[in-house]
């Protein structure tokens, strides 16, 4: 590629930079020395540098979603976040990257929802499962498998997992008394419940302090998992430093350290079958049903081929590189799940990415309260890429984010229609059908020296992709997208200041703006897969050569073959104006 970048300005821009060569975190882990990368260019090796064995595919998961009611926009957000992470790895060159999503179809909440609907429980699950599958399709999710906890192979995996826990002495029977939340599918100790008044009925009730869901007193004999035995190992896990941290963002780790340090009680992991019939029976004891969260968490292993055949434990896609979860299920994924895995000496997920909730008028969206946004309606109105952009750009990790149609319209008009779309249209218009000739002239070193403003913009374009990559390595898609849109914002200012429509020879300006659009389109592929492809096609970036659209191609001056016979088009049509 170096022979195809004769730009004097690129050399000058690169000399002015002090950018550390970027390498993905997966490649850095366990590597004796950094890979020799050209400045601003990232590659992904196909083998582990220490063992020469094939590198494990990157594995991303969403939580599996309860089918007790239809999905809302919060579920869409979780799907999109995980999909962005998976597509980013594909952009880096890991074509085997895997994304798992699916549905959780067992438990008392499902059993009661089906009863209230007057439906057979399996038929109820089938109906609502199809809705989540439809949402994944509507969201343009690139998932490789859709798992259901009612799948036969999952049932086998869960029962084998149970038997291994019992074989190792981590399961025992005991009487359990406590406050149980059907909605949360979990027991709460006395310290985590409080009296509350139902605002709609005026009825007094006990609720979980954490979730606000109603709890009921329960006393029963069931099986327990020795969770208390893992307190020290869990605290050590939460305190892993920097790039090796288990939980992102770190604020959630701080909260867990405080909670776990105060002590862990053993966990009730079964329910009497007389109360809960809809689930997986405890092996050898049909009077008990496996706790829905033990059942559900094993799904990530089921997809990876668990139980692993002897000698093949290290050849599966497990462990997950990232597990994306909402903040309301942190305890299940960051306390129970790693403890279960530790008990069986199975590798832990490398990172759990936690995100905040979407709110409406600052109140959490919830299927049970009806305070939700129908994601199918939102996609129909704003387009799948318009919704993906808004959720990724405004969604919170450490904090919640407020949802409003006016916010989506605002961002769509500013960043997509008025930002990317307008810039592309005006650039092509000023070029008057000759954009390819400007690109050829610049990449053939036939232009006069660039102005200071041109060089400043070129430096920005060299710096931007590594900054985006660092944010993605840090599992912060929102910050990465903001870096990408900063390219568009700065390019629009550069374009307006240069006024190329008034300049007799606007060659550097048009080339730099074309490069801004090309690099932006490449980087946007994980976020807006449809519209980014439209922009690349509009710029005539070679479709027959995938490397032209990879992250390694998001380098200033790396492609001299695009821009031929470019025609004006409209990437983002005006939105409907009704509320």
E-assigned strands of 283-410? 285-290, 322-326, 352-355, 358-360, 363-364, 401-402
Q: Can you give the pLDDT at residue 111?
A: 92
pLDDT in tens, 232-241: 999 999 999 8
DSSP letters spanning 2-21: GGG---HHHHHHHHH---PP
Higher pLDDT, 61 or 202: 61
Query: Which of 89-98, 136-145, 182-191, 306-315 shows the lowest per-residue confidence on average (mean pLDDT)?
Result: 182-191
Alpha helices in 58-117 (DSSP H): 73-92, 108-117
pLDDT at 350 over 50: yes
Cβ pair 549, 558 in contact under 8 A: no
177: β partners: 219
Alpha carbon of 241 to those of 236, 261, 397: distances in Å? Answer: 10, 18, 19
Residues of the chain above pLDDT 70, percent = 87
351 SS3 class: coil
Angstrom distance (rounded) from CA 55 to CA 49: 9
| Residue 461 pLDDT | 98
Between these two residues, 541 and 2, which has the higher pLDDT value? 541
pLDDT at 214 exceeding the cut of 70: yes
Residue range 106-120, pLDDT digits in tens: 998 899 999 999 999
Query: In this model, does residue 506 exceed pLDDT 50?
Result: yes
Q: Which residue has the higher pLDDT, 243 or 415?
A: 415
Q: Nearest-CA neighbor of 485 among 458, 467, 507, 509?
A: 467
Average pLDDT over residues 187-213: 75
Give the DSSP letter string of 228-278.
Answer: GGGHHHHHHHHT--GGG-SEESHHHHHHHHHHHHT----EE-EEETTT--S
Question: Could you tell me if 296 and 64 are in contact, meaning their C-beta atoms sit under 8 angstroms apart?
Answer: yes
**pLDDT above 60: residue 567:** yes
Residue 35's pLDDT is 24
pLDDT at 13: 47
Burial class, 35, CB count within 10 angstroms (exposed 0-12 / middle 13-18 / buried 19+): middle
Residue 48 has pLDDT above 80, yes or no: no
* Eight-state DSSP code of residue 215: -
Q: At 212, phi and psi to the nearest 5?
A: 80, 5
**Predicted confidence (pLDDT) per residue in 139-196, tens digit:** 999 999 999 999 999 999 999 999 999 999 999 998 766 777 766 667 777 777 788 8
The pLDDT, as a whole number, for residue 186 is: 73
pLDDT of amino acid 16 = 42
Give the pLDDT band of residue 26 (cuts 50, 70, 90): very low
Q: Is the pLDDT of residue 524 over 60?
A: yes
Per-residue pLDDT tens digits for 468-488: 999 999 999 999 999 999 999
Residue 359: beta bridge partners? Answer: 364, 402
Q: Any residues with CB less than 8 A from the CB of 160 and at least 6 apart, and which?
A: 306, 307
Return mean pLDDT, the chain: 88
- What is the per-residue pLDDT for 175? 75
The secondary structure of 410-467 as a DSSP string is HHIIIIIIIIIIHHHHHHHHHHTT-HHHHHHHHHTT-SPPPPHHHHHHHHHHHHHHHH
- Domain-wise residue ranges, the chain: 2-44+419-553, 59-150+358-402
Highest-confidence segment of 42-56, 208-222, 395-409, 436-450: 395-409
pLDDT (mean) for 504-517: 93
Does residue 282 have a pLDDT over 70?
yes
Cβ-based burial of 488 (10 A; exposed 0-12, middle 13-18, buried ≥19): buried
Look at residue 174 in the predicted model and tell me its pLDDT: 87
Note the CATH number of domain 2-44+419-553: 1.10.730.10
pLDDT at 495: 96
pLDDT of residue 220: 81
Whether the predicted pLDDT of 521 surpasses 90: yes
Kindly state the percentage of the chain with pLDDT values over 90: 72
CA–CA distances in Å: residue 34 to residues 24, 93, 410: 10, 18, 43
Coil, strand, or helix at residue 400? coil
CB-neighbour burial class of residue 69 (10 A; exposed 0-12, middle 13-18, buried 19+): middle
Q: Quickly state the pLDDT bin for 12 (edges 50, 70, 90).
A: very low
Polymer length in residues for the chain: 579
Report the C-alpha gap between 51 and 63 in whole angstroms. 32
The tokens describing 75, both together, are 């579920």
Give the pLDDT score at 196.
Answer: 82
Closest CA to 523 of 479, 457, 566: 479
Residue 271 near residue 223 (C-beta atoms within 8 A):
no
How does residue 306 score in pLDDT terms, banded at 50, 70 and 90? very high
CA distances from 273 to 222, 270, 567 (A): 10, 9, 66
The yes-or-no verdict on residue 207 having pLDDT over 90 is no
**Domain at 59-150+358-402: CATH code:** 3.40.50.620
Q: What pLDDT digit, counting tens, does each position of 244-265 carry?
A: 899 999 999 999 999 999 999 9
Provide the pLDDT for residue 363: 79
């Amino acid at each position: 590629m170096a022979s195809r970048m004769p730009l004097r300005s690129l050399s000058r821009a690169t000399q002015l930079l002090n950018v550390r060569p970027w390498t993905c975190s997966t490649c850095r882990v366990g590597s004796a020395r950094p890979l020799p990368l050209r400045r601003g260019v990232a590659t992904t090796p196909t083998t582990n540098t220490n063992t020469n064995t094939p590198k494990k595919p990157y594995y991303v998961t969403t939580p599996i979603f309860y089918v007790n009611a239809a999905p809302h926009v919060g579920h869409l957000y979780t799907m999109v976040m995980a999909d962005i992470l998976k597509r980013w790895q594909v952009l880096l060159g890991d074509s085997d990257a895997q994304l798992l999503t699916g549905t959780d179809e067992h438990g008392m909440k499902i059993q009661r929802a089906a009863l209230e609907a007057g439906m057979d429980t399996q038929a109820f699950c089938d109906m609502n499962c199809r809705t989540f599958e439809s949402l994944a399709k509507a969201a343009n999710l690139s998932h490789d498998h859709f798992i259901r906890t009612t799948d036969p192979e999952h049932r086998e995996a869960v029962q084998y997992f149970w038997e291994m826990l019992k074989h190792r002495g981590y399961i025992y029977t005991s009487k359990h008394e406590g406050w149980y939340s059907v909605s949360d599918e979990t027991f709460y100790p006395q310290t985590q419940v409080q009296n509350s008044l139902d605002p709609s009925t005026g009825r007094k009730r006990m609720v979980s302090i954490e979730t606000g869901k109603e709890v009921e007193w329960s006393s029963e004999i069931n099986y327990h998992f020795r969770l208390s035995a893992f307190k020290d190992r869990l605290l050590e896990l939460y305190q892993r430093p920097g790039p090796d941290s288990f939980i992102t963002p770190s604020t959630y780790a701080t909260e867990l350290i405080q909670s776990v340090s105060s002590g862990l009680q053993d966990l009730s992991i079964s329910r009497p079958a007389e109360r809960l019939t809809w689930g997986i029976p405890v092996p050898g004891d049909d009077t008990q049903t496996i706790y829905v969260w033990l059942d559900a968490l094993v799904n990530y292993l089921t997809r990876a081929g668990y139980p692993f055949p002897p000698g093949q434990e290290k050849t599966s896609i497990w462990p997950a590189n990232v597990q994306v979860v909402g903040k309301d299920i942190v305890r299940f994924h960051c306390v129970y799940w790693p403890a279960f895995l530790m008990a069986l000496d199975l590798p832990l997920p490398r990172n759990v990415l936690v995100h905040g909730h979407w709110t409406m008028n600052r109140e959490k969206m919830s299927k049970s309260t009806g305070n939700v946004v129908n994601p199918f309606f939102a996609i129909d109105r704003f387009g799948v890429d318009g919704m993906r952009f808004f959720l990724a750009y405004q969604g919170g990790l450490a904090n919640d984010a407020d949802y409003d149609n006016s916010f989506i319209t605002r961002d769509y008009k500013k960043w997509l229609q008025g930002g990317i779309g307008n810039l592309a249209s005006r650039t092509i218009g000023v070029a008057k059908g000759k954009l390819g000739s400007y690109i050829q002239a610049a990449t053939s070193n036939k232009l006069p020296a660039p102005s200071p403003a041109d060089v400043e913009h070129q430096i920005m374009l060299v710096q931007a992709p590594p900054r985006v990559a660092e944010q993605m390595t840090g599992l912060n898609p929102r910050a990465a997208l903001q870096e990408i849109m900063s390219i568009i914002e700065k390019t629009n200012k550069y374009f307006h200041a240069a006024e190329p429509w008034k300049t007799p020879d606007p060659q550097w300006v048009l080339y730099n703006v074309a490069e801004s659009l090309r690099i932006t389109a490449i980087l946007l592929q994980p976020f807006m897969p449809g519209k980014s492809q439209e922009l690349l096609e509009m710029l005539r970036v070679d479709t027959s050569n995938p490397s032209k659209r990879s992250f390694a191609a998001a380098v200033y001056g790396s492609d001299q073959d695009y821009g031929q016979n470019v025609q004006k088009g409209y990437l983002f049509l005006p939105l409907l104006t009704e509320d």
